[in-house]
Amino acid sequence: MNDFVKNRARSAIFNLKPYFPGKPIEEVKRELGLDNVIKLASNENPLGPSPLAQKAVASAVNQLHFYPDSNCYELKRKLSQKYDQPVDTVLVGNGSDEILKLIAETFLNPGDEVILPQPTFSEYQFSATVMDGVCLSVPLRDFTLDLPAMLEAITQRTKILFICNPNNPTGTIVTQEQLDRFMEEIPDHVLVVFDEAYSEYADSNDFISGLKYLQQGKNVVVCHTFSKIYGLAALRIGYAFTTVEIADAVKRVTEPFNVNLLAQKAAFAALDDSEHLQASRELNWQGKEYLYQQFDAMGLKYVPTQANFIFLDTGKDCRQVFQRLLQLGVIVRTGDIFGYPTYLRVTVGTAEENTRFIHSLQSVLESLS
Ligand SMILES: *Cc1c(COP(=O)(O)O)cnc(C)c1O
What pLDDT is attached to residue 1? 62
Between the alpha carbon of residue 89 and those of residues 70, 103, 165, 301, the distances in Å are 16, 14, 21, 42
Buried b (16+ CB within 10 A) or exposed e, 186-222: beeebbbbbbbbbbbbbeeeebbbbbbbbeeebbbbb
Question: For residues 193 and 160, is the Cβ–Cβ distance under 8 A?
Answer: yes
How far apart are the CA of 87 and the centre of ligand 1, in A?
23
Mutate to test the pocket of ligand 1, among 172, 225, 230 (most ligand atoms within 8 A of CB): 225
For the 3-48+275-368 domain, the top CATH level (class) is: alpha beta
* CA contacts within 13 A on the Cβ side of 247: 20
CATH 3.40.640.10 is the classification of domain 51-270? yes
The secondary element (H helix, E strand) that includes residue 342 is: none
Q: Could you read off the pLDDT tens digit of each residue along the chain, which spans 369 residues?
A: 689 999 999 999 999 988 888 899 999 999 999 999 999 999 999 999 999 999 999 999 999 999 999 999 999 999 999 999 999 999 999 999 999 999 999 999 999 999 999 999 999 999 999 999 999 999 999 999 999 999 999 999 999 999 999 999 999 999 999 999 999 999 999 999 999 999 999 999 999 999 999 999 999 999 999 999 999 999 999 999 999 999 999 999 999 999 999 999 999 999 999 999 999 999 999 999 999 999 999 999 999 999 999 999 999 999 999 999 999 999 999 999 999 999 999 999 999 999 999 999 999 999 998
Mutate to test the pocket of ligand 1, among 96, 124, 193 (most ligand atoms within 8 A of CB): 96
Question: For residues 281 and 345, is the Cβ–Cβ distance under 8 A?
Answer: no
Atom of ligand 1 nearest to the CA of 98: 7
Which amino acids bring their CB within 6 angstroms of ligand 1?
43, 95-97, 121, 164, 168, 195, 197, 225, 227-228, 233, 238
- Peptide linkage before 169 cis (omega within 30 of 0): yes
How far apart are the CA of 3 and the centre of ligand 1, in A?
35
How far apart are the CA of 363 and the centre of ligand 1, in A?
32
| Ligand 1, atom 12, residue with closest C-alpha | 197
Residue 313 buriedness (CB in 10 A; 0-12 / 13-18 / 19+): middle
How far apart are the CA of 114 and the centre of ligand 1, in A?
19
Domains of the chain, residue spans:
3-48+275-368, 51-270
| Ligand 1, atom 11, residue with closest C-alpha | 197
How far apart are the CA of 8 and the centre of ligand 1, in A?
32
| Ligand 1, atom 6, residue with closest C-alpha | 95
Torsion of CA 301, 303, 304, 305, to 10 degrees: -140
Mutate to test the pocket of ligand 1, among 97, 127, 196, 337 (most ligand atoms within 8 A of CB): 97
